[in-house]
Amino acid sequence: MKGQTKEMLEIFLLVVVSTIILTISLYVISSNKSDTEKLVVDVYQNDRANTALIEYYYKKVPPSKRNTMQMLGDAVLLKEKTVNYGFGDVGVNVSKLTYEYLDTNFGVDKWHVSVPSANFEWGYKIPEKGRVRASTIIIPIPSDDGKLTIGKLFTW
């Protein structure tokens, strides 16, 4: 009898320990999966932001033959939303171009452009809660000292 009881107790302990180990390993695997999914989403959103910025750098606006980033630089330099390039009295509304482009790429109310050195900001209010990503943008503004004008694109 003692042998059978001891054997049953050992089997019971083996089952309990195996169950605990299995439960812990499943928890670890599932928590790593959610972290991996978040990382994949972050990489995708960073790639999307980089692609949008590269396209914004090289997109030409027909009447001026300047790219949109140069126009943004002119708007920041002049502290104006509309920049006149000498085509009669009609100026190019850089603010409208920027809002339309970034709204299309990131969604309405999901981006903010800030140029701290020029005290210049465009876009929507940055949320206090949630994940906000910042991308550095170099704005082509001529300067006497050769310094680059750095801006930030915040997306959420």
For the residues 58-76, what does the mean pLDDT come to?
Answer: 83
Question: In this structure, how many other beta carbons lie within 10 angstroms of the beta carbon of residue 77?
Answer: 17
Specify the pLDDT at position 90: 66
> By percentage, how much of the chain surpasses pLDDT 70?
92
Q: How many residues does the chain have?
A: 156
Over residues 79-111, the pLDDT tens digits come to 888 888 766 656 788 888 889 988 988 888 999
Over residues 100-155, the pLDDT tens digits come to 988 988 888 999 999 888 888 888 998 888 888 888 888 888 777 777 888 898 98
Nearest to 55 by CA among 68, 64, 71, 66: 68
Confidence of residue 16 (pLDDT cuts 50, 70, 90): very high
**Average pLDDT of every residue of the chain:** 83
How far is C-alpha 52 from the chain's CA centre? 10
**CA dist., res. 138 & res. 146, Å (int):** 13
Domain boundaries, the chain: 43-155
